[in-house]
Structure 1
Amino acid sequence: MPNLPFTIRQLEVFSDLCATRSFRRTAENLGVSQASISSQIKALETQLGLTLLTRSPGRRPSLTIEGRAFLDDLRVFQSAGDALAAHRRRAPAPSEPIQFKLLVGQGLWDDFIRPRLDQFLIDHPHISLDFDSQPPDQRVPRLLEEGRHDFGLLHVRAHLPVTPHMRSLALLRGGVYGHHDLVRGQPIPLDPQTISQLPFILPRAGSSRERETLAMLEKHDIRPRNVVCHSQYYDVIATMLDRGIAAASFTEALIPPAMRAHITLLYPLDDWRLVWFRKDHDNDPRRNEVEAFLLRSVLLDPNYPAIEIHQPDYVRPAPWLRGGV
């Protein structure tokens, strides 16, 4: 092979920096100093004869045109490297303990993953799972780009782009939801003016989720006039919907199955996606077991209200799924 104008370490640094867009975070992720990160990037640019990143004081580094092209080719290179590494003969050591950190949506955790976790841990005593559950927020997927989680399974609004690190698994309905009694006798879907007059629950006041929700409603000419409360807890909001107290912008997946008979879609908004993240794509059977557990726990559950599944290969029977799910 010809001499290559880069080292594997330089590629690792460049790839992580593209994900974090922060020299400090990349240094933390790789366990080196910021000066070392800067030196590696500068050496890579010198060897290539290209400027890959623009740096300005007080601003995050951004890719140049050449940098974006190099990153695209790097992903192809990484995929080829993974394929070559898969030929390595390895003897799995199931008795060797391993811990994974997972970032999952709160509704996914409470209604689909947690109820099956006990059996998975019994069947895989050497795998430890550390869950970090988060409510839907457009900032949450960025946490995965920091490289601190091994897996991620989240709901994001469908209009937001899916980053190269993630995979879209399913599409879900989104809209303004409320109890049947809240709109008794009125034709559904309601018009934006009627929706605007309903009592409304919004995310925590002043939060990015509130701003995101209000912008989405405004896009559909809905301007809540009667905000009865704010809450950042999806389960609290769902309970209030079930009690007929107010309406809220929601995805059907966040409504507990037992409440869906009483809560109805009052006005359709933009849909949501279920997105998946896996940090390492090697053939470690323990990682494969965790992936199968997470995806099948959700996608095989008949109560998961996907209107479209993009990855049907994941939907296969699994012996550990209880109740025939």
Structure 2
Amino acid sequence: MMTELPDARRHKTGLRGKDMLKINLKQLEAFTATAEYGSFTRAAEELYLTQSTVSAHILALEETLGVQLILRGARRKLTLTEEGRRVYGAARDILDRCRLLQDPESTAQGGELSVGASTAPAQYLLPGLLSGFFQRYGDSRFLLRRGDSAQVHSLLTQGEVRIGVVGGALDRRMFTYQTLCDDRLVLVTAATERFRALKVQGLYGRDLLDEPFIVREETSGTRRVTEEYWKKHGISQDRMRVVACMDNPEAIRRSVAEGMGVSVMSELSVREEANAGKLLTFDLDESGFFRRIYLVWRKDVSLTRMEQAFVTYLRSELKKKG
């Protein structure tokens, strides 16, 4: 959709009618979002675009207007030039007027959401969020598929789901990732007197690497980021005595509780048992170890308004929860 700047703005930028036809709403959206968030990256996340696309839209707008709109600096927040501030006001007005023509709440209603989620988000994060979204958009329908992070990426590639919630960013060339929240990974042990004493002593999870270990399957996001943690801290996995490899967190929890071994797991997946005193959790180190939970979709897929509403809802709700 093409648009024009108001006459006063057009005069100040020296544009002619034929040049105005080169300006489109995507360029104005990219520019205003970048101006408001002070970041190309943040603007890209909000607009469901890549950073390079946002930059290209703004460069095209600057070329058409014949002025520099943004002062770019690697070590400081982006700021607008004088012309940028002038154009921002006009662009914001145009976008606001366009939104009056369409009710985003009504157009987001209805439709099916196909979502693939890795184990911890599927079991402990999404159920309550899906319920809340359904209450707001009652005509929506959900298809939820579960697997490890690699399996969810495969579902996305094959088109069996449109949006994923995963614990690992596996292919940034093919997929768009947005950080949804941070997930604390902890070492989980049985609630025995020996482990209780070690916890009282202030030991961390990486002080307990001589214990028998239960690990997740190789394609698990939890296992991948945990192995990256060991490598980063110079911890050889050869010293670990792996007694079992399991792909089911419930089976791991029960095995740990029965004293078979210890395991690194999402704090989300053991919170209830830890609060009930059935399991003990140890931070891996003094800072705690976190992985990111991502929203992901294919770069060649344009999200529907329903899907955009779902993504916005998830991020908003989790932001409230801190």
Please report the TM-score for the alignment, with normalisation by the length of structure 1. Answer: 0.52
| Structure 2 residue 146 is the aligned partner of structure 1 residue 167 | no
Aligned residues: 230
1:275/1:96 CA distance change after superposition, 3 Å: closer
Q: Tell me what 1:251 maps to.
A: 266
Stretches of structure 1 lacking an aligned partner (at least 5 in a row) = 5-70, 302-308, 310-325
Matching residue within 183, 198, 203 for 2:195: 183
Contact 1:238–1:256 (CA<8 Å) still a contact in 2? no
Q: How far apart, in 1, do the equivalents of 2:155 and 2:290 lie?
A: 22
| Structure 2 residue 221 is the aligned partner of structure 1 residue 202 | no
1:74/1:142 CA distance change after superposition, 3 Å: farther
Question: Could you say which structure has the larger radius of gyration?
Answer: 2
Letter in structure 2 aligned against 1:199: P
1:85/1:281 CA distance change after superposition, 3 Å: farther
Q: How far apart, in 1, do the equivalents of 2:131 and 2:51 lie?
A: 41
Matching residue within 244, 262, 265 for 1:229: 244
Q: Secondary structure at the match of 1:90?
A: coil
1:257/1:77 CA distance change after superposition, 3 Å: farther
Q: How far apart, in 2, do the equivalents of 1:265 and 1:98 lie?
A: 43
Letter in structure 2 aligned against 1:291: V
Q: Deviation string for 1:53-102 (max 9, x for gaps)?
A: xxxxxxxxxxxxxxxxxx86434346899x98883633565697411211
Alignment of 1:218-297 (within 5 A): 218-220=231-233, 221=235, 223=237, 224-260=239-275, 261=277, 262-265=279-282, 267-268=284-285, 270-277=289-296, 280=302, 284=305, 286-295=306-315
Cα deviation, residue 150, structure 1: 3.7
Cα deviation, residue 180, structure 1: 4.0
Q: How far apart, in 2, do the equivalents of 1:256 and 1:107 lie?
A: 12
Cα deviation, residue 131, structure 1: 1.4
Q: How far apart, in 2, do the equivalents of 1:208 and 1:127 lie?
A: 30
Matching residue within 115, 131, 154 for 2:144: 131
Q: Tell me what 1:151 maps to.
A: 163
Contact 1:135–1:234 (CA<8 Å) still a contact in 2? no
Contact 2:181–2:318 (CA<8 Å) still a contact in 1? no
Cα deviation, residue 212, structure 1: 5.9
Q: Deviation string for 1:118-142 (max 9, x for gaps)?
A: 56435534211211223356x8558
| Structure 2 residue 55 is the aligned partner of structure 1 residue 76 | yes
Letter in structure 2 aligned against 1:248: S
Contact 1:175–1:267 (CA<8 Å) still a contact in 2? yes
Q: How far apart, in 2, do the equivalents of 1:120 and 1:85 lie?
A: 27
Q: Secondary structure at the match of 2:208?
A: helix
1:77/1:216 CA distance change after superposition, 3 Å: same
Contact 1:111–1:256 (CA<8 Å) still a contact in 2? no
Matching residue within 119, 126, 139 for 1:113: 126
1:298/1:235 CA distance change after superposition, 3 Å: farther
Q: How far apart, in 1, do the equivalents of 2:108 and 2:168 lie?
A: 37
Q: How far apart, in 1, do the equivalents of 2:167 and 2:251 lie?
A: 18
Q: Tell me what 2:71 maps to.
A: none
TM-align CA RMSD: 4.6
Q: Deviation string for 1:200-222 (max 9, x for gaps)?
A: 10123x65665664454354325
Q: How far apart, in 2, do the equivalents of 1:122 and 1:72 lie?
A: 33
Stretches of structure 2 lacking an aligned partner (at least 5 in a row) = 1-17, 22-49, 62-91
Indicate the larger mover: 102-111 or 287-296.
287-296
Contact 2:180–2:318 (CA<8 Å) still a contact in 1? no
Letter in structure 1 aligned against 2:126: I
1:179/1:95 CA distance change after superposition, 3 Å: closer
